[in-house]
Amino acid sequence: MSKRAIISGITGQDGSYLAELLLDKGYEVTGIIRRASAPNLWRIEHLIGKVALRPADLLDQLSLMRVIDDVRPTEFYNLAAMSFVPASWDQPMLTGEFNSQGVTRVLEAIRQVDLKVRLYQASSSEMFGKVREVPQTELTPFYPRSPYGVSKVFGHYITVNYRESYGLFACSGILFNHESPRRGLEFVTRKVTDGVARIKLGLADSLSLGNLDACRDWGFAGDYVRAMWMMLQQDQPDDYVVATGIAHSVRDLVDAAFARVGLDWQKYVRVDPAFLRPAEVDHLIGDPAKARTVLGWHANVDFKRLIEMMVDADLERVASAPPARIGNPA
């Protein structure tokens, strides 16, 4: 009998890559989508007809219970979240509803309907915030620096708590930043690669950014969804850091992206204080030793290849898109 998986957040970056992976492995995949006034399926257009789509929302307990009861999945990947850190200062309460209580609703739905469902919870390196040690491991204490980070700490510990209280097979992946050509335009990697493409093609003459000194451990989303799946195939549920173990600054990112098209970034990049954050996470770098040893996971795509892949994809997209569809990144 084929395995069945539910993915919340299937319309997001990770959801789209995970759906592809699970389909390749022979799963029946159901994606949860929330109603929007306009279709938001561009990342999964190529999967329509291969995945089932069901309406539900992390804000609506009954909708989650209904979809689990109907589908009876073996695995549930909870990727849905308000994932853009700056927006969490604008809407801290809603961020908590999605990323904290939303996780509790998923856990309760599983507990009420079928305790055997295996759960993956999307935890985040943003929980380490003002880091207590370098590199960060599964044992590094959390010190979140944004409402988003705080909300994810709740989501992380409520998942641990349901595992310990009710014996749920629940795993939290503490994933460091991961990117792709499907990354939202407001995140810094995609904002830069889209900006580079527009400058190269003569559609823009500058790119405004915030803190160029911030460092992140950036990997490829396609590699990271593999780690999610691996966690749920183990004999015991546990939490894992997923990272490359190598950090770069935003300045390195800009340098690599402009170099890909033969331009000197210093001629185009402006620092705009509007993009600085009320509290910053200065430097994240993960230690993926446990994921490597226990899961056998490793990243296939390095930083340089990732940025080249994203610049190339944006060049192709911007060159072929009608002007109305190009849009302005945040």
With CB cut-offs between 5 and 8 Å by kind, which of ligand NAP, ligand GDD, none does residue 154 bind? none
Residue closer to ligand GDD, measured from CB, 87 or 160: 87
Q: Which is nearer to ligand GDD, 71 or 247 (CB)?
A: 247
Contact 119, 171 (CB under 8 A): yes
As beta bridge partners, residue 310 has none
Binding residue for ligand NAP (CB under 6 A) from 68, 81, 291, 309? 81
CA–CA distance, 95 with 83 (Å, rounded to integer)? 9
Please say if 2 is a catalytic residue. Answer: no
211 binds ligand GDD (CB under 6 A): yes
At residue 95, the 3 state secondary structure works out as helix
> Closest separation between CB of residue 205 and ligand NAP, Å?
29
Identify whether 126 is a catalytic site residue.
yes
Site size with ligand GDD, rule: CB under 6 A = 22
Residues 103-162 that bind ligand GDD (CB under 6 A): 124-126
| SS3 label, residue 51 | strand
Residue closer to ligand NAP (CB basis): 27 or 224: 224
Nearer to ligand NAP, 12 or 195 (CB): 12
Beta bridge mates, 203: none
Task: Provide the β-strand partners of residue 119.
Answer: 76, 170
Of the residues 83, 124, 146, 180, only one is catalytic, namely: 124
Torsion of CA 82, 88, 92, 95, to 10 degrees: 10
SS3 85: helix
Shortest Å distance, C-beta 136 to ligand NAP: 13
Q: Which does 277 bind (CB under 5 to 8 A by kind): ligand NAP, ligand GDD, none?
A: ligand GDD
277 sits near ligand GDD (criterion: CB under 6 A):
yes
CB of 154 within 8 A of CB of 98?
no
Q: How far apart are CA 301 and CA 297, in angstroms?
A: 12
What single-letter DSSP state applies at residue 216? E
- Applying CB under 6 A, the residues found at the interface with ligand GDD are 83, 85, 124-126, 176-177, 186-188, 191, 209-211, 214, 216, 250, 275, 277, 280-281, 284
